[in-house]
Amino acid sequence: MTINQLKTLIAQRFEALYFFYTYMGNRLFLLLIFNFLMAFLDGIGLMMFVPLLQIADDPAAAADSNQLTAWVTQGFALFNLPLNVYIMLGFIAVVFVLKAVCGFFTQYFQSVTIQRFTGKIRKNQIDGLTNLSYKAFVSTDAGHIQNSLTVESQRIAFAGAQYIETIKAGMLVLVYLGFAFRVDWQFSLLIVIGGALTNFIYKRFYKKTKDLSRKITQNNHRFGGGLIENVSHFKYLKASGRNTFFAARLSDELNDWIDNNIKVGKLSALLNAIREPMMIIIVCVTIAIQVSVFKSGLSAIIIILLLFYRAMTYIINLQTTWNNYLSSHGSKESVLKFIAYLQDNAELRNGSKVINQIESIELHDIKLAFGDFKVLKGIDLVIPAKKSVAFVGESGSGKSTLVNVLCSVLELDSGAYHINGIPIQDVDRAAYKAKIGYISQEPTIFNADIFDNVTFWAERTPENIQKFEKVMERGSLKNFLAGLPRGYEEFLGHNGMNISGGQKQRISIARELYKDVELLIMDEATSALDSETENEIRKSLEELQGSLTIVSIAHRLSTIRHADQIYLMDAGRIVANGNFEELKNKSDYFRKLTDLQGM
């Protein structure tokens, strides 16, 4: 059997162990070794009380009373230590001090391991989300993303801790069983029977808990998605009076979540309630059998009481922690599926060729579809450096999709995309995108102050502040900035809730001007501006012509009147092109648009 086949077998037979080992590595096994050592010391310490009592009762006959005391006597003799009450007490104290030290280190190491495990899970998801293709992202539920990165990741941390506690409890049971088998095999057999009987009872609880865990995970996904929509569309919901309806939807989902968690809590309460009486009943039955059937003496009963009580406690702890682990099983399943989805839909591998300067962009027979819907149907296009081009056409003609291809956020189904003659798949995408400025129809405003929004959290040095003020002036934001109570430290609120649509768009434009880009892409960037502000922005952008490459999509033809080349699109194809006047002569549709807009 090869190593890969062995790994596959372990992954199939011990799925949970393999999962935690994948993220915790050898720390998991070190943790289990420390836990075993702590359990071993605990067992040794407890076992020493039996010979202690026998030595205190009759020192002369102690060595011959049972095998355990005989072993202790022989062990002490090896180190030339006298066997008396004081030496035994000191030995027991040392054992439990060592156990405490080991316990502290184990607990601390477990805490560090769990936190690093949680961090690694979240980092993998963040990295996967960063590398997720845009085409896959648009079909992904935002609530699922948010819930997986927050709630479900935290529940996996709890699952990891409970899984380790389960193994720890199992190891403690094995330690006590090991001691018990050496002292009294009948006792050990009763332990196994008692554990098997309780496990039969607990099995029904496990299945119900697992099913409820999956339902809770789905509740979290739907509630998280609804919450994101409620915040994103707050103004519309408030203005239209539909906020109460939306709140009712969230409340229904929240009530389902509460009900399912209550059911899990009920199962947990039942398990805890029956734990002690079940243990006491088994203890009593075991002692009765030992006394009446096996005619055990007082010392044997003391051993049984100590070992049996401890072993049964950890058997039930094992069952409880395992049930707790299962309560987060749905979270583990959900996050694993989400990570797999991110990996399966990652962007194509980044190339290695760095573009120092964008000299030309060429598209040859570009085709792209979403499912069965063909969006681009054979686009041929050349965009020279430092030229301005624009795309016009009806909604759905493929303009924004073509721009998304230029931004390298959509992969092609067929055709060729070259930068400076280099295929896009060979280009270092990160370095290329660093040269691109993108301004969309929906302005992007971050939950930060205006300086961080424009500079993208640049250090607040005098040089950066001066550059910030310059682009604010170029973006027609100088008066707006002067009127803010806190100046450039004014907080803009979630998605710019504290400012108008036009102000948000101008801040988005200023951000790209601050970036010093070589390729500026504007997708309906001035659509939210009033005529006066649009005119100011248009003049600023016209001043940029010749200094960088500008690609625009616009319905307001005044913003693209001076473009070097305008492309008219229809149903995923370029049907005509030329400068403004040339296109008026070539296309009846374009001429009609200019007439409607008084141009």
Q: Give the model confidence (pLDDT) of 448-494 as tens digits.
A: 888 998 998 889 999 999 999 988 887 778 888 888 888 888 888 77
How far is residue 578's CA from residue 567's CA, in Å, rounded to a whole number? 7
Q: Per the confidence metrics, is the pTM higher than 0.85?
A: no
Sign of the torsion formed by the C-alpha atoms of 397, 403, 406 and 407: negative
From CA 425, how far away is CA 79, in angstroms rounded? 73
**Which residues, including other chains, have CB under 8 Å from residue 462's CB and lie 6 or more apart?**
none
At 31, is the pLDDT very low, low, confident or very high (cuts 50, 70, 90)?
Answer: confident
Q: Is the pLDDT of residue 294 over 70?
A: no
Q: Say which amino acid occupies 286.
A: T
Q: What is the DSSP letter of 326?
A: H
> Which comes out higher in pLDDT, residue 184 or 441?
441
Q: What's the average model confidence in pLDDT over 273-302?
A: 67
Residue that has been written with the tokens 């030992």 in this structure: 290
Q: How confident is the model at residue 296 (pLDDT cuts 50, 70, 90)?
A: low
For 282-291, what is the mean pLDDT?
70
Helix (H, G, I), strand (E, B) or coil at 413: coil
- In 438-477, alpha helices (H): 450-455, 462-474
**Residue 535 parent element (H or E):** helix 531-544
pLDDT exceeds cutoff 80 at 118: yes
Return the beta strands (E) in 306-431 as ranges: 360-370, 373-384, 388-392, 414-419, 422-423
- How far apart CA 127 and CA 114 sit, in angstroms, is 20
For 356, residues 6+ apart whose C-beta sits below 8 A from its C-beta are none
CA distances from 235 to 230, 378, 446 (A): 9, 41, 17
What contacts 24+ positions apart, CB below 8 Å, involve 10-13? none
Structure confidence at residue 195 (pLDDT): 61
Using DSSP's 3-state secondary structure scheme, residue 361 falls into strand
Of 27-41, 193-207, 561-575, the poorest mean pLDDT is in 193-207
Q: Determine whether 305 is exposed, middle or buried from the number of CB atoms within 10 Å of its CB (0-12, 13-18, 19+).
A: middle
Question: Which of 503, 568, 567, 496 shows the shortest CA–CA distance to 537?
Answer: 503
pLDDT more than 90, % of the chain: 10
Report the range out of 65-69, 254-258, 279-283 with the highest average pLDDT: 254-258
**What does the block give as tokens for 170?**
């199992």
Residues β-bridged to residue 364: 416
* Averaged confidence pLDDT in the chain: 80
Do 297 and 142 touch, CB atoms closer than 8 A? no
Residue from 194, 178, 185, 175 nearest 300 by CA: 185
The separation between CA 115 and the C-alpha centre of its own chain, rounded to angstroms, equals 13
- Bridge pairing between strands 373-384 and 360-370: antiparallel
* Architecture in CATH for domain 360-596: 3-Layer(aba) Sandwich (3.40)
Q: Which residues are paired to 293 by β-bridges?
A: none
Given a cut of 60, is residue 394 above it in pLDDT?
yes
Residue 176 CB neighbour total at 10 angstroms: 28
pLDDT level of residue 350 (50, 70, 90 thresholds): confident
**Is the CB of residue 487 less than 8 Å from the CB of residue 481?**
yes
Give the pLDDT score at 275.
Answer: 67
Give the E-state strand segments of 93-158 in sequence order: none
User: Among 86-100, 346-360, 363-377, 520-534, where is mean pLDDT lowest?
Assistant: 520-534
Q: Could you write out the three-class secondary structure of 337-359?
A: HHHHHHHHCECCCCCCECCCCCC
Q: Are 514 and 468 in contact (CB under 8 A)?
A: yes
Taking the C-alpha atoms of residue 318 and residue 328, their distance in angstroms, rounded to an integer, is 16
Strand partners, 545: 548
The CA distance from 442 to 304, in Å, is 73
**89-116 confidence digits (pLDDT tens):** 888 888 889 888 888 888 888 888 888 8
Indicate the domain borders of the chain: 15-344, 360-596
- Determine contact, residues 378/365, Cβ cutoff 8 Å: yes
Is residue 305 over pLDDT 90?
A: no
Find the radius of gyration of the CA atoms of the chain: 36
For residue 370, the 8-state DSSP code is E
pLDDT at residue 464, rounded to an integer? 92
Among residues 173, 160, 172, which one has the least CA distance to residue 27? 160
Cα 451 to Cα 434, 461, 465, 478, distances in angstroms: 20, 12, 8, 13
Does 1 have pLDDT greater than 60? no
Please name the residues in contact with 282: beta carbons below 8 A apart, sequence gap of 6 or more.
190, 194, 197, 198, 312
CB atoms within 10 A of CB 65: 18
Q: Please report, rounded to a whole number, the percentage of residues in the chain having pLDDT higher than 70.
A: 83
Residue 8 has a pLDDT of 63
Which CATH number applies to 15-344? 1.20.1560.10
- Write out pLDDT tens, residues 502-516: 788 888 888 888 888
At 268, is the pLDDT very low, low, confident or very high (cuts 50, 70, 90)? confident
* Residue 10 to residue 22: CA distance in whole angstroms: 12
44, 72 contact by CB (below 8 A): no
Q: Provide the 10 A C-beta neighbour count for residue 265.
A: 11
**How many whole angstroms separate alpha carbon 213 and alpha carbon 151?**
13
Strand ranges for 452-559 from DSSP E: 519-523, 549-553
Tokens of residue 582, six digits: 């040339």
Q: How far from the centroid of its chain's Cα atoms is residue 488's Cα?
A: 33
pLDDT of residue 467: 92
- Is 298 a residue whose pLDDT tops 60? no
User: Strand pairing of 519-523 and 549-553?
Assistant: parallel
User: 88-97, 148-157, 313-322: which has the highest mean pLDDT?
Assistant: 88-97
Distance CA 417, CA 380 (A): 10
